[in-house]
């Protein structure tokens, strides 16, 4: 996978990217150890955590997320996590951890839904889906669309290439795979790319979580302001019954009687 031109070192291993890689490594070695202890238990766990379309149709909805942590094959997991490291670190350094997490898991779920859509149309093409490539393709499409003109080095080869061309190489290879025995994998990866594209085009600039928290705190503050105004009005009525007059500003804050310039 690429690295920025002029950078002769691996990117920082930190933040959400670090957590994601460690989660995947932990899940991989857990399955390896379980396989050593009991092949049957290993296979059962894979069937319940990887994406099996018929299982999802019968209520195993968690598989739309958990399949991304089921890594099969040492070379596949090594290349996938190396790709995740480069892409995730680059995007997280610019957009932050929340944005990257939302983009990644939106793409993972999108890839899972694409696999389910293919199963609904062509039940005979159903395959067990595993691995984080759906999420990686979402990061890849964001990388190409947002930073397409930036040149990167194709690691480990000393070849410079623009981000947008790198994305096209991956997309064309995946499209070609649609006509092979890997049709289901390719279709799900393209689904991840599509959902990644939709996320960067239509999600709030700082992500849904930030926008949602901002809206929540805005509503909460409006509620507290309404309560304060209401309490102020009640207190004014009470004081009038005591033949005393008190004043509050438009936000329900008490006004010192000696400061008549602030009276409403």
- pLDDT value for 259: 60
Residue 247 and residue 143 share a domain? no
Q: Does 164 fall in a domain?
A: yes
13 and 36 inside one domain:
yes
Q: Are residues 198 and 222 in the same domain?
A: no
**How many CA within 13 A on the CB side of residue 120?**
8
Residue 173 and residue 101 share a domain: yes
Query: What is the predicted pLDDT for the residue at 69?
Result: 94
User: Are residue 224 and residue 148 in the same domain, yes or no?
Assistant: no
Collect the ranges in the chain with pLDDT lower than 50.
Answer: 1-8, 210, 212, 263-264
10 and 127 together in one domain? yes
- Asked whether residue 105 falls in the same domain as residue 231, the answer is no
Burial class (CB in 10 A: 0-12, 13-18, 19+), 259: exposed
* pLDDT on residue 36: 63
> Does residue 208 lie in a domain region?
no
Is 221 found in the same domain as 194?
A: no
Are 170 and 228 in a shared domain? no
Which of 203, 232, 247 is the last residue before a domain boundary?
Answer: 203
- pTM greater than 0.85: no
180 within some domain? yes
Kind of pairing, strands 160-162 and 2-4? unpaired
| 216 vs 113: CA distance, rounded Å | 29
Whole domain around residue 220: which residue ranges?
216-262
- The per-residue pLDDT for 6 is 41
Report which of 213, 211, 216, 248 is spatially closest to residue 231, judged by C-alpha positions. 248
Q: Does 144 share its domain with 95?
A: yes
CA atoms lying within 13 Å on the CB side of residue 139: 31
> Contact, 107 vs 139, CB < 8 A?
yes
The predicted structure's pLDDT at residue 7: 41
Give domain status of residue 211, yes or no.
Answer: no
Number of neighbouring beta carbons within 10 Å of residue 241: 7
Are 195 and 160 in a shared domain?
yes
pLDDT score for 214: 53
The number of distinct structural domains making up the chain is: 2
Q: Are 106 and 229 contained in the same domain?
A: no
* Rounded Cα distance, 253 and 178, in Å: 66
Can you tell me which residue has the tokens 């928290």?
213
Residue 209 lies in a domain: no
């Amino acid at each position: 996978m690429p690295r920025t031109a002029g950078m002769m070192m691996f990117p920082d291993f930190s933040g959400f990217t670090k957590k994601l890689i460690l989660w995947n490594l932990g899940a991989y070695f857990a399955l390896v150890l379980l396989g050593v202890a009991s092949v049957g238990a290993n296979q059962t766990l894979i069937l319940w955590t990887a994406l099996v379309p018929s299982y999802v149709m019968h209520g195993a909805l968690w598989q739309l997320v958990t399949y991304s942590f089921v890594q099969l094959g040492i070379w596949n997991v090594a290349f996938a996590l190396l790709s995740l490291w480069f892409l995730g670190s680059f995007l997280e350094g610019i957009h932050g951890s929340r944005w990257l997490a939302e983009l990644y898991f939106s793409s993972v779920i999108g890839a899972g839904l694409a696999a389910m859509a293919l199963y609904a149309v062509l039940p005979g093409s159903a395959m067990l889906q595993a691995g984080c490539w759906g999420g990686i393709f979402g990061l890849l499409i964001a990388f190409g669309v947002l930073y397409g003109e930036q040149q990167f080095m194709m690691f480990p080869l000393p070849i410079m290439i623009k981000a947008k061309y790198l994305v096209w190489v991956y997309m064309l290879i995946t499209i070609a795979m649609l006509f092979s025995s890997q049709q289901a994998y390719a279709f799900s990866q393209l689904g991840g790319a599509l959902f990644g594209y939709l996320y960067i085009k239509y999600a709030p600039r700082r992500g849904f979580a930030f926008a949602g928290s901002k809206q929540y705190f805005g509503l909460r503050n409006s509620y507290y302001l309404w309560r304060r105004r209401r309490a102020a009005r009640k207190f004014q009525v009470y004081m009038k019954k005591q033949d005393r007059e008190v004043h509050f500003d438009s936000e329900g804050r008490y006004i010192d009687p000696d400061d008549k310039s602030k009276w409403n």
